[in-house]
Amino acid sequence: MATSCDVCVLGAGHNGLTAAVFLARAGLRVHVLERSSVLGGAARTERPFAKAPELGHSTGAYLLGVMPPELIDRLALPLELVRRDPHYFLPTLDRRSLLLGADAQKNDAQ
How is residue 13 annotated by DSSP?
B
pLDDT at residue 4, rounded to an integer: 93
Domain locations in the chain?
85-110
Give the mean pLDDT of 29-55. 83
The segment with the largest mean pLDDT, out of 1-10, 73-82, 87-96, is 1-10
Give the mean pLDDT of 18-45. 90
Angle in degrees, CA 68, 36, 77, rounded to 5: 30
- Name the band, by pLDDT with cuts 50, 70 and 90, for residue 61: low
pLDDT at residue 90, rounded to an integer: 83
- Residue 25: which of 3, 50, 6, 46 has the closest Cα? 6
User: How many Å separate Cα 84 from the centre of its chain?
Assistant: 13
Instruction: State what percent of residues in the chain have pLDDT above 90.
Output: 30
